[in-house]
Amino acid sequence: MTTRKDYLRGPRIDPRPITGKETVTELVDNAFLAYNAGRLAEGCRLFAERMLAEDVTVGMSLTGAMTPAGLGMSTMIPLIEAGFVDWIVSTGANLYHDSHFGLGLTMHKGTPFADDVELREEGVVRIYDIFFDYQVLLSTDAYIREVSARPEFQRPMSTAEYHYLLGGYVREREQALGIGRKSVLGVAHECGVPIYTSSPGDSSIGMNVAEQALTGSQLRFDVSADVNETSAVVFHAKTHGGKSGVLIIGGGSPKNFVLQTEPQIQEVLGIGEKGHDYYLQMTDARPDTGGLSGATPSEAVSWGKVDPEKLPDTVVCYLDNTVGFPILAAYALAKRKPRRLKRLYHKRDEMLRELTEAYQEAKADRDARAEATPVGRQP
């Protein structure tokens, strides 16, 4: 039974006055004490102190228009280069807009209070308070079609393969333009970080690939390969003495795609597993509306997505990701040294082979048990 003394064991709320000279880590540890600031502080410590241990494989999901707001350059690229993110599931839109920067195209700070009819007449596109020229879309579309028509793309492939190839070309364009590392796709290519899209047709990248299918292109996204490869990443982490952690920025389909790796291993493939070890989410979605975006880690336990014994190692922060995500990154980069890059993209075949062998063994065991069980008479 929990006693009053147990409830009052937490640290006293007694912060030092803010001076204006604090670092991000000092501000988080001293002033982020309660409500969603408290959850963000807990998330920062979970990420930096536990999820970034050498034996943890970190998968990140990304939704919302984060790359147009510059978070690809400010936040994601530093995390990838530091080895703090090992594999990614993103909306296609984030990757499409990310490529603008790698191609030397520009987006601009604007205002949410502009006249959208007037913007349309002037050829300006708005993402809330971000403005960019409509020609940015047309130029990016043309580039994606040009690259995707090349011989190495003319086959079915996982979205990780497609993004790796595309990222290589975007990185070459950056180098030719002399603009440095602007694109998540380009940096992920260099670091061997596989990037998947759970709904590859739901973005301008998918739209341009679909256009090419009408002209005889053999490029097709293999969604089954995506499901099996992501499950293989998690299985490899858990069966080689390590752990699996998920960093969920937003919600939506990418959140489910990162988390469904465990039900795929357990429920569908029949391989004994317990769930992800660490769960950190930043979202503005409520749990009581029934949507996946707001679903809690405790609910995920009932699906086999999260190890029930690891619920204390789960944190949900209800806040704007454009605020919380950079703070999390700054905290982690200040607290942890860079990790060795796992370069999981280049290990996909090996990891998939391990998963396939485990599945075949589990299936053979189930079939043997079924044959040994007498079938009762039908009435």
> Any idea which residues carry the catalytic annotation?
305
3-state secondary structure of 189: helix
In eight-state DSSP terms, residue 243 is E
Q: What's the angle, vertex CA 99, arms to CA 95 and CA 100, rounded to 5?
A: 125
Tokens of 132: 């960019």
- CA 176 to each of CA 165, 172, 180, 378: distance values in angstroms, whole numbers, following the listed order: 17, 6, 10, 73
Beta bridge partners of 204: none
Please classify residue 311 by burial: count the beta carbons closer than 10 Å to its beta carbon, then call 0-12 exposed, 13-18 middle and 19+ buried: middle
How far apart are the C-alpha atoms of 185 and 237, rounded to whole Å?
A: 23
How far is residue 88 CA from its own chain's centroid? 4
3-state secondary structure of 89: strand
- CA 150 to each of CA 134, 143, 169, 254, 369: distance values in angstroms, whole numbers, following the listed order: 26, 11, 11, 28, 50
How far apart are the C-alpha atoms of 33 and 70, rounded to whole Å?
A: 28
Residue partners of 206: CB distance under 8 A and separation at least 6: 92, 197, 199, 200, 221
Tokens of 227: 């499901």
Nearest to residue 89, comparing CAs of 31, 24, 159, 28?
159
Look at strands 87-90 and 56-62 and give their pairing: parallel
Q: What's the angle, vertex CA 230, arms to CA 224 and CA 234, rounded to 5?
A: 145
Backbone angles phi, psi at 92, to 5 degrees: -65, -30
